Amino acid sequence: MANFNTHLNVAFMVSGTLSLTVYKAGLVDDSGFLMCAALGTIGGLLPDLDSDNSTPIKLGFNLISFVFAFGLVMHWRGELSLLALMVLWLAGYGFMRYVVFYVFTTMTVHRGVIHSVPYMAILGLALTYLSHDILHLPLTVSWFYGLFLFGGAMVHLALDELYSVNLSNMKMKRSSGTAMKFYQHKDKWWYLLLYVILALLLYIAPPFDTFWQQVSDPAAWAKLKLGLWPELIKGWLS
């Protein structure tokens, strides 16, 4: 399978190119462009959350542990002494970084249900719902956020499948088919749960048809066409 640097670099290049495209089409603003690029890159690392020794899971749990400890201190800052807050900070960080991390890595298997298309679709739809219905962001931006996260994850899975092909003698490796998967019989009950959650998220998701009407508006792509070439080249072409 592809290594961390490959996943990071390819996801960044793909998400950066696509986010620039929708930005030049006027579908997202400056902050939306940056968020789409970042979410696509993050999505490119998400499927390896089920790998106990992967860089994404270590970085992710370090960040989550820090945020959790910070939240505890901010919540109790007016009621506890400085010493108590220091103990709370260390205890909160240690609990997330070591206890929860141990439980998570014990319960997950690399290239298990997390390393699958429906799981990544759930994360993308959940982000879309959170952005629109909880954070009250615009519909188009919310859908782009979810789609970029999901798209980055698909880049990751596609890379893993590509690396499962031995190009020197054009044969499949044993890892072929374990990355871009929709179902595995040995995890049938987990997949049943995933598809139930996915169906629920599809039901409560913001209207996709409205988003699609905005994205397919010819005016946006006419604007993109006008800004496609530098002025000098456009002068040569005209």
**Residue ranges covered by each domain of the chain:** 4-51+111-231, 53-107
What are the percentages of helix, strand and coil residues in the chain, rounded to 5?
Answer: 75, 0, 25
Cβ proximity of 205 and 127 under 8 Å:
no
Residues 6+ apart with CB under 8 A from 190: 112, 113
Cβ proximity of 36 and 144 under 8 Å:
yes
Calpha distance 207→205 (Å, rounded): 6
The model's pLDDT over 47-96, given as tens digits with 9 standing for 90+, comes to 776 565 556 666 766 776 777 788 788 878 888 888 988 999 899 888 88
pLDDT above 50 (res 102): yes
What single-letter DSSP state applies at residue 171?
E
104 vs 22, more confident = 22
Cβ proximity of 181 and 104 under 8 Å:
no
Calpha distance 173→165 (Å, rounded): 6
Cβ proximity of 205 and 123 under 8 Å:
no
The model's pLDDT over 122-178, given as tens digits with 9 standing for 90+, comes to 989 999 998 999 888 999 999 999 999 999 999 988 888 887 654 444 454 554 555
- Indicate the average pLDDT of the chain: 79
pLDDT computed for residue 164 by the predictor: 65
Local structure of 203: helix, strand or coil: helix
Whether this model's pTM surpasses 0.85: no
Q: Which amino acid is at 183?
A: Y
pLDDT computed for residue 208 by the predictor: 93
Pairing of strands 171-172, 165-166: antiparallel
Cβ proximity of 147 and 125 under 8 Å:
no
Tell whether the torsion through CA atoms of 130, 50, 192 and 174 is positive or negative. Answer: positive
